[in-house]
Each structure stands twice: as C-alpha cells, then as structure tokens.
Structure 1
C-alpha cells in the first residue's frame, strides 16, 4: 500500500470536486476549494476520523468497499478508480515492465507497410518500430535508447516545435502525463519509471506543473498533426491499442483518411524510405 501516494491522490481529487457536482450546497463561507473532508466522508458513508487518517497517510488498509465508496464520492473516472485501487494495494498482484517484445508483435508491425507503427512500453520507451514510423518520427535508428523515450522528447527536446505546434504539444503533454500517472500506479516498484519521473520533475517546470495536478487517464485514441520536413503536414489518428497478455506494452498506429492529402503524404514518405 502506498500511503503517501493515496493521501496525495485523495487530497488533490477532493479539491477538484465541486459541492454542486455532488448535490451539496456551496454555502457562503466556503474557503476550501472543492469538497471539505467531512463532506467526502459523508458521501462515502464513513467516519470523518477515518477519512482524515487516510488523507494524512496514516490510515489502515482500506477495503474494496471503502475504495468503491470513495471513488463514487470523488466522482472518479474508471482510470482514476483503477489508480486508487493500485495505490491502496488492492491489485491482484504487482505486474512488472518486461524487456522483451513478443515476436508476433514484431511481425505485425513489419507487415504494416503503409501505416507508421511502433511498440511503446509503460515508461514511454519506443521498443520496436517499422520503417515508416522511423521516418515519420525522425530516424529512430540513429538515436540512443534514451532519446527513444517519447515523454522525454515531448518535454526536453529543443526541436519538438518542428514536429508539433504549441496547441498539439500542450494537448499531447497533458495526456501523456496523465497516462504516466496511471503507469506509476500499476508499476510502483519499477526503478527506471521512478527515475524518469524524478528526472523530468527536476528538469522540466512544465512537467512538474502537470504532474502536480494528479490527473489520471490511460492514453487511447487521439488526433495528431505532425509536420515532416520532406512531405509536409500529416493529419492522423493516433490509435493506442493494448497488447493481449502484456499490459506493459501498447501498439501505436498512425492512420489517415483514405484518399486524403495526409494519406498521400504517408505514401510519399514511404517511397522516400524505399529509395534511401
């Protein structure tokens, strides 16, 4: 059980729930942003003392019934609820981030000749990719393993503006941090994941500000606009798909509307990779 993490999560999520959102009167002298501790305890059907101890990181191990009640009281999303259970040590077992990529997955991405495809792990390390993904993302073959980390690239790379505009970068950064929060709940003992978060907290004020919001949401489908120096702007749907029996891996595909200029741009990019 991660008592400090659970305490932080409860405090921050409580501050994001308005009284009106849960059917409570706001009152005239409200100083606390969001709900008061007493209101959360009332909504969850527990004693105020028990809830205070949870927020202070000194409470007992909460039952699944208590966690479900807190999830309802704080209006948590499904992703946030799963994160709450992980923090409370209610996962069936502690999964691990493995270093191998299934051979079948390597075969799959190699067959996707007109679709940029890569394999991403929970640390945001790109573990495998097809030639079109390598070309779209700037030559993955020629960079070090450290520079194949997508979230480090988003917050630390000086040339990201050449690929994503400010609005796109802001949207992707926020969703990535929320997704990384979910990963920290799933893999609390992974030292490389802990080191990545510590590095970004120390070096990127933007990351630190987003991390402090404690938003939790698993990354799924997202529209992206990528600018490539050779073929121009590509409007794509970034599809993030889970890998069966491997919760630590995801398959990422960039798809475009058939017959669109973006579709043609990807075809042009593929021809460049074949001729190089």
Structure 2
C-alpha cells in the first residue's frame, strides 16, 4: 500500500508524509460511505467531496486541499465536523486529529522514568503490571509481570519492546492462546497511538525493523487498521493449562504523563488442558 509509513524520512519530509497519510485516510473513509440519496451515475465509489464538505459546513476547495495533502491549518472544531460528516468512530477521529493536529497530543515520554511511575507499577502488585513509553518500550515492571511474561530487558530489541516481543519472541507467540488476534490488535493500537509522530525515527525505525524481521507484521501493518486500547480478557498458557486474565491500560497524569501502564487481573482459571 502507498501509505506504508515504515520508510525512513528526515525532519524536512516528516510533515509531508503525515499530510499524505491524512489525505489517504480521508479519501478511504469518504469512498467507503454510501450516498444517502443514490441517484445518477457516479464515476467513483462513496461520497463526493462536495457532499462531505456540505455535510461538514466547509468549502469544497478547503476540503479538497486536505485530500490533496496541502499544508493547511485546521481547527479542532472543523475536524470534529469533518469526522461527523465521514461518520468516524472515536478511534478513527482520534487518528484523524493526530494526523491533522499533532500538537494536541501528549508530549514525548520523558527520557528519565519518573519515580511516580515506578511507584504506581510496584504498587499494583500482586497483579502483573508494566509501564511503556509512547513507542511501546517497556520502562518499568513488577515481579508478578516478570513471572507471568518472562524477563524484560530495558533497551533490548526484543524483550524491551512489547510490539517487537509479540512478533519476534517465540515464547510470547506460544504464551497467548489468541496470539493472532492480540498481535493484530497491538499493531492497530500502535498505529492509532503514534499518528501524531508517525514519522519520528523511533517509530519508523521500529516499523522498518519489524517489517524486515517479521513478514506477518508487514502484512498486518499494511492493512492500516486502527484500534483503541481494549479492555478485554486474554487467555495465557501456563505449563499445560490456561489462565484467563483481564487486560486494561491505565494512563497516569502528573509526572508519569506520557507513559501507559498495562495491568493484568486474574479471572477464573479453566481446569482443562491448554488449548492448541
């Protein structure tokens, strides 16, 4: 797909790449909508630009510039109207805002892990918990998390990053019973979370490496799916049995802002052998 964002760029081209992805996203969502009043012969699928602009209450010229990846400013209110016109869900609107108004999003995670974050993660014991920066690098974890998931190593290209570990660590592929669904969701979450800085070297470098080393990641990444952080149940293999865990993502404020904390809470454990 032409929207492949694993290609390394310089700071001078990062803005252009973000606008190109914004244009692609708008076109894709517009073409996916069925006209409310079908009539006449249409040369292209979906709504016309004129129909989206009218629904959003903006000029056709201005909306066309967005789909042409022009360097134009857009207000938050205008984006909300465009999102409604395109019938975007909450996750899609979040992605749209990240592309069009990256300054509205959280600043980069601090280089030094704040003491408050370490306190939060340790305080969640005896439940497994770990903290990640904005590109899914694991920066803190507690002992229960290491017991459940294996050792983390800060800075390690595999065990130091959750996205890389899902695709490059054979033990994690076995650990999660529904690995394909979990891996697919993680990629969609990563794309959504990094929209505002998708062309930063820390993002493009990780994406390029995973595309090279894990062909299945390249396939999932090119599908350009979006997803929020889910609150769901994961089934994990422990020896020859399985355990069900509730997975949640917490977003601290204050000194720990810019990081996320992943928390696992134990649920009922099945008595049968592990699924194959």
Report if TM-score (shorter chain) is over 0.5: yes
Where does residue 5 of structure 2 map in the other structure?
Answer: none
Where in structure 2 are the equivalents of 1:202-221 lying within 5 Å? 202-221=212-231
How far does the alpha carbon of each residue in 1:201-257 deviate from its partner, in whole angstroms, 9 at most, with x for none?
A: 34444333333343333314221111123x731101011111113442111111023
Unpaired runs of at least 5, structure 2: 1-14, 271-276
- Give the match's secondary structure for 1:235: strand
Unpaired runs of at least 5, structure 1: 263-276
Shift of 1:59: 5.4
Q: How many residues align?
A: 254
The answer (yes or no) to whether the contact 2:244–2:266 under 8 Å persists in 1 is yes
Shift of 1:12: 2.5
Alpha-carbon distance in 2 for matches of 1:37, 1:191: 34
The answer (yes or no) to whether the contact 1:220–1:239 under 8 Å persists in 2 is yes
The answer (yes or no) to whether the contact 1:225–1:236 under 8 Å persists in 2 is yes
Where does residue 11 of structure 2 map in the other structure?
Answer: none
Shift of 1:188: 4.4
Alpha-carbon distance in 2 for matches of 1:142, 1:62: 39
Where does residue 61 of structure 1 map in the other structure?
Answer: 73
Where does residue 241 of structure 1 map in the other structure?
Answer: 250
CA-based RMSD of the aligned residues comes to 2.9
Shift of 1:3: 1.7
The answer (yes or no) to whether the contact 1:12–1:213 under 8 Å persists in 2 is no
1:144 is aligned to 2:153: no
Where does residue 10 of structure 2 map in the other structure?
Answer: none
Where in structure 2 are the equivalents of 1:189-200 lying within 5 Å? 190-200=200-210
Shift of the 14–157 alpha-carbon distance from structure 1 to 2, 3 Å rule, reads farther
Shift of 1:46: 3.0
Where does residue 254 of structure 1 map in the other structure?
Answer: 264
TM-score (normalised: structure 2): 0.78
How far does the alpha carbon of each residue in 1:181-201 deviate from its partner, in whole angstroms, 9 at most, with x for none?
A: 222223346421221122233
> Structure 1 stretches (4+) deviating beyond 6 angstroms?
none
Identify the structure with bigger relative contact order (alpha carbons < 8 Å, sequence gap 6+).
2
Alpha-carbon distance in 1 for matches of 2:208, 2:155: 22
The answer (yes or no) to whether the contact 2:106–2:258 under 8 Å persists in 1 is no
